[in-house]
Amino acid sequence: MSSAPVRPAAQAEPFFLDGAPGRRFCLFHPPAGTCRGALLYVHPFAEEMNRSRRMAALQARALAQQGYGVLQIDLYGCGDSSGDFGDARWDIWKDDLARGAAWLAAHCGQPLTLWGLRLGALLALDYARAAAHPVAHPIAHPITSMLLWQPVTKGTSYLTQFLRLRLAGELLDSGAAQGGTDALRQALRAGETVEIAGYDLAPQLAAALDGLPALEAMAPSCPVHWFEAVSAAGGASATGGAGGALPAGAARVAAAWRERGVDLHLHALPGAPFWATPETTVNADWLAATCAAMERRETEQHDGV
């Protein structure tokens, strides 16, 4: 850990950032002391966003205490930002990230780390590979590292899981599901908006998720710290290697990325999936491991690794 004197982090600053369309609610956590870097948090999808709010807030505060400026942004149609969930589109969300990155560059003037959770990690990776983004700010700093919290490995599979929530709800309400995920996909392809667990899913957003490449094909060009939850029986941290404790999908992506030369650090951490538990779940080990990863990233940058 750094030996620099620890200063208390300032209180988080809420504000609205102009978007297109509407405005985005943001929460900026100013760095304690001299700014060491900037992080842009990309939240997960639908109810996973609400269930992970506590962990995201605690991590943002811890990173700010560590000297990083952290921006949490509610994407269009989510949280306290403009628009309804049914208005959300993948490309608007990537525009939101570009605007957030530009705001951080103007206010922190430091290298940017993208920090994404679940589908937010997939969005961050998709944004990062679009070098010439249409709303990229001329002073925006390059993305120098990424923190991926339990990234979704395939958009189309994630969409299928989301659609199944509707079928599960129908089973609970009437004892029978009306069709399957294929029928819901047909409705979406026909241009219908489909309600899933209280969220209106637009056909355009569903098509974007279905059209995303698998994570193997989205290898980033910057160093990555990937955090994956494993069962308590899976063992302690597997930093630096795709050990047997990792799910098969994550291990497969890790192998593909390393073949392409990605500087990848894997962290397999025991604990409940806090983004999915009905009750608020805090994983202190996860928070500490993320802070340690940022320390390691800075040390490696300083040493020219």
Residue 211 counted as domain residue: no
Number of domains in the chain: 2
Residue 173 sits in the same domain as residue 133: no
Residue 185 structural domain: 158-204
Report pLDDT digits (tens) over 175-211.
Answer: 666 778 999 999 999 999 999 999 999 999 999 999 9
* Lowest-pLDDT choice from 32-46, 123-137, 259-273: 123-137
* Mean per-residue pLDDT, 273-296: 94
Whole-angstrom Cα distance, residue 171 to residue 154?
Answer: 26
Q: How far apart are CA 170 and CA 40, in angstroms?
A: 37
Whether 212 is in a domain gets the answer: no
Amino acid present at 180: G
In a domain, 266, yes or no: yes
Name, in order, each residue with C-beta under 8 angstroms of 269's C-beta and a sequence gap of 6 or more.
Answer: 227, 228, 229, 230, 237, 283, 285, 286, 289
Q: What is the CATH number of the domain that holds 224?
A: 3.40.50.1820
| Residue of 47, 104, 53, 97 whose CA lies nearest to 75 | 97
Residues 141 and 195 in one domain: no
**DSSP code for 134:** T
Residue 214 lies in a domain: no
| CA 297 – CA 144 distance, rounded (Å) | 10
| pTM of the predicted structure, to 2 decimals | 0.90
Question: What span, in angstroms and rounded, lies between the C-alpha atoms of 292 and 285?
Answer: 10
One domain for residues 182 and 274: no
For the segment 94-105, what is each residue's pLDDT rounded down to a tens digit? 999 999 999 999
How far apart CA 254 and CA 250 sit, in angstroms, is 6
Alpha helices in the chain (DSSP H): 47-51, 53-65, 90-108, 119-128, 155-174, 181-189, 203-211, 248-259, 284-303
Indicate if 189 and 269 belong to the same structural domain: no
Across the chain, what does the average pLDDT equal?
A: 88
pLDDT-derived band of residue 300, with 50, 70 and 90 as boundaries?
confident
Distance CA 210, CA 41 (A): 23
On the question of pLDDT at 270 being above 60, the answer is yes
- Same-domain pairing of 229 and 294: yes
Q: Which residues, other chains included, contact 283 with Cβ-Cβ below 8 Å and sequence gap of 6+?
A: 55, 269, 271, 272, 274
4 lies in a domain?
A: no
3-state secondary structure of 294: helix
Give the pair of three-digit tokens for residue 164.
């199944």
For residues 150 and 247, what is the distance between their CA atoms, to the nearest angstrom? 11
Question: Cα-Cα-Cα-Cα dihedral of 37, 38, 39, 40, to 10°?
Answer: -160
Q: Do 24 and 170 reside in the same domain of the chain?
A: no
Predicted local confidence at residue 9, as pLDDT? 65
Shared-domain flag, residues 58 and 174: no
Kindly tell me if the per-residue pLDDT of 1 is higher than 50.
no
Quick: pLDDT tens for 106-151: 999 998 999 999 999 999 999 998 754 444 454 556 888 999 999 9
3-class secondary structure, 243 = coil
